[in-house]
Amino acid sequence: MFQLHDYQQTLVDNTRQSYVDGYKSPCVVAPCGAGKSVIISEIARMTTLRGNKVLFLVHRKELIDQIKDTFKKNSVDLKLVHFGMVQTVVKKLDRLNKPQLIITDENHHGLAASYRKIYDHFHDVLKLGFTATPIRLNGSGLGDINDILIEEVDARWLIENSYLSPYKYYAPKLIDTEKLKLNSLREFSSTSVNDAMDDKTIYGDAIKHYKQLADGGQAIAYCHNVEASKQLASEFKQYGINAVHLDGKTPKAERDDIIRQFRNREIQIITNCDIIGEGFDVPDCSTVIMLRPTESLSLFIQQSMRGMRYRPGKTSIIIDHVDNVRRHGLPDMERKWSLKGIKSESGPEIKIKECENCYAAYPSEFRECPECGHKPEVVRGEREGYEVDESAVLEEVKEGEFSFTMDLREPEDCKTVEELYELARNRQYKPGWAYIQAKRLGLLG
């Protein structure tokens, strides 16, 4: 059996108490690196200890292999646990034994129709979800499938208490975001990302900045499509840096060999297009290279924190070539979640730059000065097929640049007048708004 950290035990205790209090479907919010699988295994162990059956739902097979090993180490009675991919479980509901608890990993996927069909079939069974980001790609919350969020620690606390490594974050200017179009999930479509990057411009030379900022550390690079990932790996190799591309079609034996070489530090960089994310077990790395814009807060956190596994003396390096930090803030920024999700856009203040020709100030995402039309010089780089925007210098992003809190709560989520005033401050509303909401909700006494 595992010896849980205090905060992990508190999450377990609070989850159990939520059922006592009458909740049927809590969702545990645990940041990346909090030891989610350990917490899940402890709840599963306590459930099976009483002879109760558990249905454990995942969306990728790799997750089953990983969590099953953790369950074994924590003495969970595996005879009482059914591990299943949602795509498989939904096809054989009538043949499954009724469980006493349904646990959903990566619970932000739980609003999908396949999950909902399982939940509806076992409508009177207690449910439990786990996620680092309780929000869907389209911004909707989890209120339709969960009735309470259970939180204890955030990423900043984990860093301060040596459960995650500290980090340095570097970001350049934006790509041409006017070319980007949102699909139905509020994510940038792959076609529009390709269009925005078809001019083969790299904002801040990826190889130069890796060598300058990461000093040869092992890195995961996220690219906007498979071809870009292959090309980036090739470019790194031309500079004597051992980089290998990986995608969903890479044969398992080859993939396992790549991961083995990466673990043994024979490979320095793995390039990919979204394959290294949820459910993908990759050895410790120190650097993340982001070459893919995303509107998904969940995807951003998963990718940016990939290199923050704790190791004494380690500082993670995040090199963000597409300025995702301006959309989402820093990885450990304070975020207040809500079951309702995002109802309006909010985010960090966009930086400005000064025109070197007429000295006008304008938003940094503009590719040319709106006053005089001057366009910062873009020159052909040494690496064939790419242009390097020499004006796009990556600079370290400091915490003070993001003095806001991403507060996704609605007034109804607040239990006291003080919480309403806090919500008003985080949204930069006037205090009178909090007073009106408090009066409407009957919190003034």
Domain boundaries, the chain: 6-153, 167-347+375-400, 409-440
Contact present, 159 and 266 (Cβ < 8 Å): no
pLDDT at residue 202 is higher than 60: no
Element (H, E) at 126: strand 126-131
Contact present, 283 and 307 (Cβ < 8 Å): no
Amino acid at 279: G
Contact present, 32 and 301 (Cβ < 8 Å): yes
Segment among 52-56, 134-138, 299-303 with least mean pLDDT: 134-138
The token duo for 342 is: 């995002």
- Would you state the pLDDT for residue 148? 95
Q: How far apart are CA 327 and CA 346, in angstroms?
A: 9
Torsion, Cα of 127, 152, 81, 84 (10° steps): 70
Amino acid at 24: K
Cα 266 to Cα 22, 36, 44, 207, 259, distances in angstroms: 53, 30, 38, 18, 10
In sequence order, what DSSP letters do the residues of 207-260 get, joined into one string?
HHHIIIIITT--EEEEESSHHHHHHHHHHHHHTT--EEE--TTS-HHHHHHHHH
pLDDT at residue 366 is higher than 80: no
pLDDT at residue 171 is higher than 90: no
Angle at 361 (CA atoms; ends 358, 365), nearest 5 degrees: 115
Q: How far apart are CA 179 and CA 176, in angstroms?
A: 6
- Would you state the pLDDT for residue 135? 81
Dihedral sign for Cα 262, 132, 274, 292, please: negative
Q: For 337, how many CA atoms within 13 A lie in the half-sphere containing its CB? A: 28
CATH H superfamily, domain 167-347+375-400 = P-loop containing nucleotide triphosphate hydrolases (3.40.50.300)
Question: What's the pTM value of the predicted model, to 2 decimals?
Answer: 0.76
Q: What is the fold of 6-153? A: Rossmann fold (3.40.50)
State which of 57-66, 245-254, 357-366, 380-389 shows the largest mean pLDDT: 245-254
In sequence order, what DSSP letters do the residues of 142-173 get, joined into one string?
STTT-SEEEE---HHHHHHTTSB--EEEEE--
